[in-house]
Amino acid sequence: MARDSRGDEPGGCLAIFFLLLLVGLVILAVVWFVSFVGHVLELTPTYPETSPTVAATDPPRSSPRPPTRSSPRSSPCATRVRELRRELERRG
């Protein structure tokens, strides 16, 4: 009798499918965990600045960006802006 060319172990293709599925689920779990930790620590995503050509074609925003979860009052720039506003109020 002729031997089957698929090999001795049946279900090899099914095993590869389940292995790939398992690897995908592990990657999904890692991404979910990193996202969860980012939300717990209240980290906000950072986006690269757009190039001038893209910014010129975008329609102007009617309102500023909504505030993020982290307090903007704690940033060094916000502190400096408040100091400058106070100084201008004293002068003017």
User: Per-residue pLDDT tens for 14-52?
Assistant: 999 999 999 999 999 999 999 899 888 888 777 776 666
* Percentage of residues in the chain having pLDDT higher than 70: 60
Most confident of 30-34, 58-62, 77-81: 30-34
DSSP letter assigned to residue 51: P
Kindly give, in sequence order, each residue whose CB lies less than 8 Å from that of residue 39, ignoring residues fewer than 6 positions away. Answer: none
Kindly give, in sequence order, each residue whose CB lies less than 8 Å from that of residue 76, ignoring residues fewer than 6 positions away. Answer: none
Looking at per-residue confidence, does 30 or 90 come out higher? Answer: 30
**Residue 85 pLDDT greater than 60, yes or no:** yes
∠ at Cα 16 (12, 17), nearest 5°?
115
